[in-house]
């Protein structure tokens, strides 16, 4: 602890970074950013933009870069993505900022941040363009955890031939996240074609009775092929669970 | 009416048959058998064995043969199937009685009964042996309505190749009933491969959360391919709806 | 494939149309339009306007006309209907554009598009003005598939005499879609009066407990007359399923 | 109170009857019989046989006759009906005991009991034989409250003509209870044909999704005709509510 | 019919009034106003303002006055109430227009309209100010049907003494509507204190789990006192059902 | 630990008691009895008889007496109550065994067991005889925790006067458990009459829609008076929570 | 009563205060403020700002201060908090007004108001910043009832070590409210570590399936440690129930 | 294929084994055993005993040993376990048969069967003895897939210290299955303490509202730590998913 305090006194550490090292989290007016969790499982601590003001999202993202070297902002609409860009331009002008509009994700890396790199691949499959946001969120977190990702999109169960054409591209994957809305059958079909573990990601793209993802969620829980599932629209959780599996596999590869 | 009464007086008609012609239904101690419905849409009036005593089932089946020339008994366990056989042996010893144990169905035809014959084919598809009872019920009613039936079983979505191998056998069908439990995805996949209308038949073969057919039911209602559905385990309804479509098509073929 | 490429090189085919023929779908900034599905079952690939920006809806409709010769836009409010008109005026000024405000549907045909014509009639029944949007959607898709349609509206079960007055008009129909909200009993009553197959279309016009279409949906699944059903407000699916049945019947009539 | 105690001391009153007059209820080993409620609204205090042992049912019925002059036993299977008969034979051999097997109801009157008689009629309508138990329960309680009852059965919405044939018989009724299972549409149709108040009684005779009376219950709550409803299988409540209305009307007739 | 046409030709009847007499309803650009229903049961045909534009509400109200002599507009917010006033000022300047803001109801009577008057009283009880809208809707319809009404408000079960103080005012009522949100216990308690029939009206004033009226609805269906219920927030239905009962009682009083 | 082992070696301690002291629980063939929990909060560790064989229940009860000096067996039917008696007769013949049949509870105390005694009173209120089992379970656990208990039964909201007559008996209670089935309104009414904290205990005594305690549960969660609740039929939890509050109050009284 | 009227006539009492003393509540244009409830159980009568206009909230708060000496306004967003401040500035400029933005609560005390002070402490625990609003509401009401409060925040079950570090701070509490969203496990873990009674407060901070607080609510009802619960987001109820317990304990301490 | 037929003709292969090689499954009177699935993903094809007769279970187990060299029978009660033993004694007397009563699992290996062995460990954690059946099922399938397993039981969240004492034993695991009933919080807490992927297995051991595993299921889907989940009581699926992950890790270790 003395070391941290000395570096803070010497101006080598910001107050937020010192607080993060000592208390495990940094406090800002916009809330608290919990850097400690990240070190435990390698899962980046995301800033969930939904339900926060643009100013809060920008401030939390800046704190994240300051204390963890990286920010991962999820469920950010255009206004909140702009707020993150602005906060970065002001407080971390040399950060590397990438935006994925379809996934509604912003990632920012401080120049000194060294992203992890795992020798393992996460497959990401979806049935339609409406599943792109959830799948992109999964992609972003798995990528930030260091996994390679391989995407296969628009292969819904209503056009089974198109799926069969593209399934070979998934055979090299170590774990596969499959997103699906409506009746949610795609993970079942994909898991029947592969021998890697499959994580089902139900998406709230249905309509009418059971249309807020309930049908897809139940369909994955009832799957007649072995798979596990996450909650509706939980792209972050699916990607992070895939990332945890990839970390174990990469560690095994490294011996 | 006078004609009916004269034939009754002359002993050409039983009391039950006379009542059926005049009132539209025949009354027995075991309940009422509604023969009139059958003539309206060609859908045989079934005796639902579940929830009735074996004696009631036997009595109603005998009344059905007497008034409609035919009995179709559904959801009959071993004891009730035996009761129907016994009732037939006693009251209609010359009836043609066929039993389908897997489908839990008994069909009896009086010697004079002329079954309809339609120039149209109903396809019947299922994913597993646990769907056999519901599918068999659908088969029985479609057959009694005069349709040819074509069955393709054990082609679940977890083994998509096996389904693709057998789908050609369905291309000649005019309408297809697809039964599925668990996640209920099979009708969606089949409808994506055929151009005939598909009727989804959800089956209560799941388990845990959503396992009494809710997942399958919702999956069919949310299907991303065009299809219509019936209630959970409603094999009779699915088969009869397919039969009604087959009747229209056969009539069109006859010109 | 060479033929397609030669026609593209010769300027006889647009890039989008060429992509549609080769890949089965055309990509636009507004998303993907999947023309291949249309050829499989004759069901037009609709542009669902709900949840898309007016610009996206306009762009997808234009792409649809370009690649499939036709656009069917559903669930379009005033702003989105205007966007489709504007996109047509600019990109396909000679297209035939028809708008049904009650049904919230826009249909556009390229001059060269030859709509199918089937010798079969789809009946369309509803109980009240609040069911008009769902029924109109069903009407549009059945019409686009080439069926004749016959509408009988405002014949709710609360005024049974009015329904009986008008049921004769439905006797010539080959298949009947019946839309109903609230308690959803109309398909049951109609199916009891006709011998054509009936497709129940529950509508979300109820209120309070069970009022988002659940009561109507359950009522149709529990119907004591034979019928099949589609999801709540799924006018497109009901119309397309009726269209598939009409196609079979028309084909049989043609011999 | 002194009067009661004097009559008890004089042997003119049993202990149970004295307790009932003083405390409002009588205690037995089988539980408590609450006679006071009966006097408030004229609704007989029923002994619900379901969930009690035959001995308890018999004992409670005997106490009811002793303290209230009458017993109304509901939901009694064969064994419990026999127990009531036996208890009556032993303790109130001169009571008038009537059993309705279909309704699963036993009614016993002490010789001195003077049943009420109201100048008002309760109509009782049902769609099928499976609704008979609930309807019979309603009939029994309305009858015990003194109303005349008029039954019209087997007039389901699937055979609307049969209902129309018989609706005239209901026009003289002051209030009508309509029982229905499955989709529960019958009360809506009946209320559209009559000007008396209608009470919907949903029955748990459906199957699959929504089949434990939920569809019927929701259908009545969503009815597009004015009516009120009671809970699933609550024949007693429906009959008693009709009886309360009949009491008011009869009182008005008497001036 | 000839008579109607002659009066139309002679200018004694508007087109809408003629259409209403002949077809049972009048068509306007804003939809259809169904005058015939009103004559059947005496229940006024209401214009439900919710979900319609102010212009549509105004037009329908004007049509109602023209064809039925009266308009009853329910669930009208400020803008829609103003639209009704404006429509009346323009088309029926001599109509008697009354507005109840709390109940969100507007009633308009043409000068020639003779409101019914029944010798019967409907009680109206509620537990809190949040139940006022639903109760006011019930009051309006019962009043329009001719019943006298008697209101007792702010007597929730949490303050049972206040209810007991005021219950005597209800003893003269012939039928009582009791509105309650939250746990919905008030109808049960009130029915235990009165001998008139009670109609429970659940209100969506709860919060959290079960808070959209489900708890109140279920509470009334499970009531341990005899009563019937209507759907959540269905003030119109509760008032109309009470009105139907009042009509029967008043008719009996008249002999 | 050494002390425990020496007492075990010296035969002063049974193996089970030694295991309980060292590991916190004792293992038997019938499962594990967790004595440590009891010392933490003073809540006796109950043996839940439901779902266990009579032999298992007897063995666990004997182990409880051996390791904790006391056994509290809940939800025990006649056969399981007999098994506990038999196990006690054999293994702890000098234990004090008390059985409450209505509550389905057996309590056994070893001769050396000194039950706690708290200077605090728990009130226990219910509306009907069907709530007696749940209330008795609450009574047993509160009593075993040392609280005095005061019961007021048969005071349902349908007979509000009877409740008011008896509420004074509750004014001295420090905390009150109120059990109710059906619509579950009793805790709300009682809490409105008292100033002690009230714990709602919903009971599964309803029927039909919402009848497995859902209506009562939701009613307590929606209560318009301040109270907290436990799960359906959770008499043990309600009694123990009341006991914990009584412990705090008694400790405060002792200063 | 005469005394109140004399003081009113003498100008010593406002009309509202006089009405409050006589009728138990004061009527304003904005609704009714029920001062009598407060005196019964010591629970302050809160003004629920949600669903009221800013003007109504301001007026009710002013009436509360006038009649009860204090206002507690809950669920007040920025606009409504400003309205309360403004109303106080105008009508009670000398009131002590405190605002808690996170809790969305405003408290105002008239100068003469003497807040209660209890010798008892309520613990308040939460897992994350998103639970702060509900917990703050609980804190405000417990504080207004006179209890000391002790808060422990950001100790979610995902970081169990942080919770264990801080649990000692809770050991002196007499009763503990634990707020939790998502899976709602925190109250269970906390109750396993303390011997004070625990009240679970589920918060609607989840997402997807079960995300509106259902998972947290069910988790607390199923807790394997003894605790009671309140409805989702019912911070007021949790705090008031804790306050009632604290009142009893403080009274016991005072002897 | 010729090779298979020649071996069959030569008596080297049974008919069932030949059918299994050619068709992918073997047919018996008791149903179909699908050996092909096993080879795809290494997941043994289990015989689900629940819902089958003892004779069917025995026959299917014998067929499994004959065609796949191994049988894994799940959810087998005593009678069905005995039937498997008997079938083995008769048809495969030299098979190695192991029974796990708590897990309700029977495993049989033919002498020639070489079980796989993976260099990877699956952790298995549960909170109470009632979770043992589901956890044992997971253990059996993971073991049959070749993984080492490590069990940590009786570490519920109500006794967090006991869990912390034992968590170190899980640090070497590559993937961890955590079973929990009631509120289902254990997987969340465990995942917060480990860096291996965690699979939540909800168990139906709750009671009352949400007690058939819904609370546990929702709790895992809402977990505030990263994890994926399977359906209620789906021990087989959880174990197989863990086995698939272990297979990938072991393969990586082998390089």
Give me the residue from A217, A228, A249 closest to H252, CB to CB. A249
Measure in Å the smallest separation between the Cα of C58 and chain D Cα atoms: 38
pTM: 0.91
Q: Is A72 on the interface with H (CB under 8 A)?
A: no
Q: What is the mean pLDDT of chain F?
A: 89
pLDDT (tens place) for every residue of chain D, 255 residues total: 677 777 777 777 776 677 666 666 666 665 666 665 566 678 998 999 988 899 999 999 999 998 889 999 999 999 999 999 999 999 999 999 999 998 999 999 999 898 899 999 999 999 877 898 999 999 999 999 999 999 998 888 887 888 888 888 899 999 999 999 999 999 999 999 998 999 999 999 878 888 889 999 999 999 989 999 999 999 999 999 999 999 999 999 997
CA distance B154 to E110: 70
User: What contacts E33, CB < 8 A, 6 or more positions away?
Assistant: E20, E25, E26, E45, E47, E60, E63, E64, E67, E68
Which of G78, G130, G164, G207 to mutate to test binding with chain A, by most A CBs within 10 Å of its CB?
G207
Residues 195-234 of F with CB under 8 A from D: 207-211
pLDDT tier at A90, thresholds 50, 70, 90: very high
Shared domain check, D126 and D247: yes
Q: Do H221 and G214 touch (CB under 8 A)?
A: no
Do F143 and F93 reside in the same domain of the chain? no
Task: Examine the domain organization and report whether E222 and E138 are in the same domain.
Answer: yes
On the question of pLDDT at B71 being above 90, the answer is yes
Nearest to D157 among C128, C185, C214 (CB): C185
Measure Cα distances from A192 to A127, A186, B163, C103, H42 in Å: 16, 10, 12, 41, 12
B127/A45 Cα distance (integer angstroms): 43
- In 3D space, the residue among D200, C63, H13, B148 whose CA is nearest the CA of residue E237 turns out to be D200
Across the beta sheet with G105-109, what order do the strands follow?
G46-48, G70-74, G105-109, G96-100
Does the beta-carbon distance from B182 to A209 stay under 8 Å?
no
The residues near D199 (Cβ < 8 Å, ≥ 6 apart) are: D175, D176, D177, D178, D187, D227, D228, D229, D230, D238, D241, D242, E228
Q: Which residues contact A23 (CB under 8 A, 6 or more apart)?
A: none
Do B and H touch (≥3 CB pairs < 8 Å)?
A: yes
Identify which of H127, H184, H207 has the shortest CB distance to residue G183.
H184
pLDDT of the residue at D23: 61
Please write the tens of the pLDDT for every residue from C143-186: 999 999 999 988 888 878 888 888 888 999 999 999 999 999 99
Give the 3-state secondary structure of residue A21: helix
Contact E232 C159 (CB under 8 A): no
Residue G155 makes CB contacts below 8 A (sequence gap 6+) with G125, G126, G127, G162, G163, G166, G186
CB contacts, 8 Å: G162 with chain A: 24
Are B and E touching by the rule of 3+ CB pairs within 8 Å? no
Nearest to G32 among E154, E159, E208 (CB): E154
**A188 and A93 co-located in one domain:** no
CB-CB under 8 Å, G197 with F248: yes
The per-residue pLDDT for F29 is: 60
The reply to whether B225 and B125 lie within a common domain is yes
Query: Across the interface, do B226 and C41 touch by the CB < 8 Å criterion?
Result: yes
pLDDT of residue C206: 79
Residue from E133, E163, E169, E165 nearest E151 by CA: E169
Chain C residues with beta carbon closer than 8 angstroms to that of E202 = 208
Banded model confidence at residue A201, pLDDT cuts 50, 70, 90: very high
- B53-67, C57-71, C159-173, C178-192: range with lowest mean pLDDT: C159-173
What is the overall mean pLDDT for chain B? 89
Question: Span F69-78, mean pLDDT?
Answer: 95
Say yes or no to pLDDT of F30 above 70.
no
Structure tokens at C70: 């036709």
E46 strand-pairing partners: E72
CA distance F184 to E216: 11
Range in A19-28, A41-50, H180-189 with the lowest mean pLDDT: A19-28
Contacts of H232 in chain B (CB under 8 A): 207-209
List of residues 6+ apart from A42 with CB closer than 8 A: A116, A145, A146, A243, A244, A247, H195
Give the pLDDT of residue H98. Answer: 96
Burial of residue E129 (number of CB atoms within 10 Å: 0-12, 13-18, 19+): middle
Q: Which member of F164, F182, F220 has the closest CB to residue E223?
A: F182
What are E70-123's pLDDT values in tens digits?
A: 999 999 999 999 999 999 999 999 999 999 998 999 999 999 898 899 999 999
CATH number for the domain including C147? 3.40.50.1970
Q: Report the residue of C126, C208, C210, C212 to disrupt the E interface, i.e. the one with the largest count of E CBs within 10 Å.
A: C208
Residue from D131, D202, D209, D224 whose CB has the most chain C CBs within 10 Å, to mutate: D224
* Residue A31 reports pLDDT greater than 70: no
pLDDT reading at F32 higher than 70: no
Q: Is E248 on the interface with D (CB under 8 A)?
A: yes
Return the residue in G232, G235, G238, G240 with the most chain E beta carbons within 10 A, the one to mutate for interface testing: G232
Q: Same domain, yes or no, for E248 and E145?
A: yes
CB contact (8 A) between residue C208 and residue E231? yes
Question: Alpha-carbon distance B249 to G173, whole Å?
Answer: 78
Distance of CA A244 to the CA centre of its chain: 12
pLDDT grade for B1, boundaries at 50, 70 and 90: low
CA–CA distance, C69 with C87 (Å, rounded to integer): 15
Per-residue model confidence as pLDDT tens digits over F90-143 = 999 999 999 999 899 999 999 989 889 999 999 999 987 789 899 999 999 999
- Chain A hits for C214, CB-CB cut-off 8 Å, are 209
Cα(E78)–Cα(E80) distance, integer angstroms: 6
State the first-to-last Cα distance of chain F, in angstroms, to the nearest integer.
34
**pLDDT given for residue F3 in this prediction:** 73
Do B7 and B105 lie in one domain? The reply is: yes
Same-domain status, G90 and G7: yes
Residues A132 and A234 in one domain: yes
Its domain, for residue D65, covers 1-109
Alpha-carbon distances of F69 from C177, D243, F45, F141, F145, rounded to whole Å = 72, 58, 11, 15, 14
Helix axis angle for H54-68 and H78-91, nearest 10°, is 50
User: What was the ipTM of the complex prediction?
Assistant: 0.90
> Minimum mean pLDDT among B101-105, F65-69, H235-239: which range?
F65-69
- Greater pLDDT, C115 or B26: C115
| pLDDT(A128) > 80 | no
Q: Is D190 on the interface with C (CB under 8 A)?
A: no
Written in H, E and C, the secondary structure of chain H is CHHHHHHHHCCCCCHHHHHHHHHCCEEECCEEECCHHHHHHCCCCEEECCCCCHHHHHHHHHHHHHHHCEEEEECCCHHHHHHHHHHHHHHCCCCEEEEECCCCEEEEECCCCCCCCCCCEEEEEECCHHHHHHHHHHHHHHHHCCCEEEEECCCCHHHHHHHHHHHHHHCCCCEEEEEECCCCCHHHHHHCCCCCCEEEEECCCCCCCCCCCHHHHHHHHCCCCCCEECCCCCHHHHHHHHHHHHHHHHHHHHC
- On whether the CB atoms of residues H109 and H70 are closer than 8 A, the answer is yes
Angle E136-E138-E144 (CA atoms, 0-180°, nearest 5)? 100
Can you give the length of chain A in residues?
A: 255
Do residues H21 and H105 both lie within one domain? yes
Helices E2-9 and E15-23: angle between axes, nearest 10 degrees:
180
- The partner residue sitting opposite A232, judged by closest CB among G129, G162, G208, is G208
Q: What confidence score (pLDDT) does residue B207 get? A: 81
Evaluate if residue C34 carries a pLDDT over 70.
no
Name the domain boundary from G109, G140, G173. Answer: G109
Residue at a domain's end among D46, D75, D109: D109
Distance, in angstroms, between B20 CA and closest chain C CA?
18
Does the distance separating the beta carbons of E245 and D248 come in below 8 Å? yes
Among D51, D84, D109, give the residue marking a domain's end.
D109
> Does one domain contain both A143 and A241?
yes
Q: How far is it, in rounded angstroms, from Cα H103 to Cα G52?
A: 57
Give the nearest chain C residue to B254 (CA atoms).
Answer: C253
Strand pairing partners for F179?
A: F126, F201
Residues of B in contact with H31 (CB under 8 A): 129
Please give the C-alpha separations between residue E242 and each of B120, E105, E245, in angstroms, as whole numbers: 55, 18, 5
- E-G contacts (CB, under 8 Å): 28
Contacts of D156 in chain C (CB under 8 A): 224
Residue with token string 């067996």 = F73
Give F113: exposed, middle or buried? Use CB within 10 Å, 0-12, 13-18, 19+.
middle
Lowest mean pLDDT among B72-76, D63-67, F236-240: D63-67
DSSP characters over F126-184: ESSGGGHHHHHHHHHHHHHTT-EEEEE-S--GGGHHHHHHHGGGGTT-SEEEEEE-TT-
What pLDDT was estimated at residue B165?
Answer: 84
Residue of E nearest to F220 (CA): E183
Q: pLDDT per position in chain H (255 positions), as tens?
A: 677 767 777 777 776 677 666 666 666 665 666 665 566 678 998 999 988 899 999 999 999 998 889 999 999 999 999 999 999 999 999 999 999 998 999 999 999 898 899 999 999 999 877 898 999 999 999 999 999 999 998 888 887 888 888 888 899 999 999 999 999 999 999 999 998 999 999 999 878 888 889 999 999 999 989 999 999 999 999 999 999 999 999 999 997
Q: Is the CB of residue D27 less than 8 Å away from at least one CB of chain F? A: no
C-alpha distances (whole Å) from E87 to each of E34, E91, F73 are: 19, 6, 73
Residue B33 pLDDT exceeds 80: no
In whole angstroms, what is the distance from residue F61 CA to residue F63 CA? Answer: 5
CB B157 within 8 A of CB B185: yes
The pLDDT tens digits for A143-186 are 999 999 999 988 888 878 888 888 888 999 999 999 999 999 99
Using CA coordinates, name the residue in chain G closest to H192.
Answer: G158
**D121 vs E contacts (CB less than 8 Å):** none
Same domain, B146 and B48: no
Q: What is the pLDDT of residues E46-61, one digit of tens each?
A: 999 988 899 999 999 9
Mean pLDDT, all residues of chain E: 89
- N- to C-terminal Cα separation, chain D: 34
Please count the structural domains in chain B. Answer: 2
Tokens of B64: 């059905």
Compare CB distances from H209 to F25, F31, F214 and report the shortest one's residue.
F214
Identify the helix (H) or strand (E) that includes residue E187.
Answer: helix E186-191
The interaxial angle of helices G78-91 and G54-68, nearest 10 deg, is 50
Q: What was the pLDDT predicted at C186?
A: 95
* Residue A11: per-residue pLDDT: 73
Q: What is the pLDDT along chain G (255 residues), one digit of tens a residue?
A: 677 767 777 777 776 677 666 666 666 665 666 665 566 678 998 999 988 899 999 999 999 998 889 999 999 999 999 999 999 999 999 999 999 998 999 999 999 898 899 999 999 999 877 898 999 999 999 999 999 999 998 888 887 888 888 888 899 999 999 999 999 999 999 999 998 999 999 999 878 888 889 999 999 999 989 999 999 999 999 999 999 999 999 999 997
Residue whose token pair is 């019943």: E147
Position A26 pLDDT exceeds 80: no
Helix (H) / strand (E) element for B171: namely: none
């Amino acid at each position: 602890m003395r070391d941290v305090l000395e570096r803070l006194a010497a101006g080598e550490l910001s107050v937020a970074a010192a607080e993060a090292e000592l208390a495990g989290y940094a406090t800002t007016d916009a809330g608290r950013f919990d850097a400690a969790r990240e070190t435990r499982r390698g899962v980046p601590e995301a800033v969930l933009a939904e339900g926060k003001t643009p100013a809060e999202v920008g401030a939390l993202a800046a704190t994240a870069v300051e204390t963890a070297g990286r920010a991962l902002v999820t469920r950010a609409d255009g206004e909140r993505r702009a707020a993150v860009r602005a906060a970065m331009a002001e407080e971390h002008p040399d950060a590397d900022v990438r935006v994925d509009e379809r996934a509604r994700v912003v990632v920012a890396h401080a120049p000194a941040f060294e992203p992890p790199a795992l020798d393992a691949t996460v497959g990401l499959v979806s049935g339609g363009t409406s599943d792109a946001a959830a799948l992109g969120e999964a992609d972003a977190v798995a990528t930030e955890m260091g996994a390679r990702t391989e995407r296969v999109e628009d292969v819904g169960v209503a056009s089974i031939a198109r799926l069969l054409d593209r399934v070979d591209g998934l055979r090299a994957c170590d774990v596969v996240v499959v997103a699906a809305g409506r009746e949610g059958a795609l993970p079942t079909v994909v898991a029947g074609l592969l021998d890697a573990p499959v994580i089902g990601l139900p998406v709230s793209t249905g309509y009418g009775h059971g249309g807020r993802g309930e049908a897809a969620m139940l369909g994955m829980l009832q799957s007649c092929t072995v798979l596990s599932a996450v909650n509706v629209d939980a792209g972050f959780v699916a990607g992070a669970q895939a990332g945890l599996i990839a970390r174990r596999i990469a560690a095994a590869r490294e011996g």
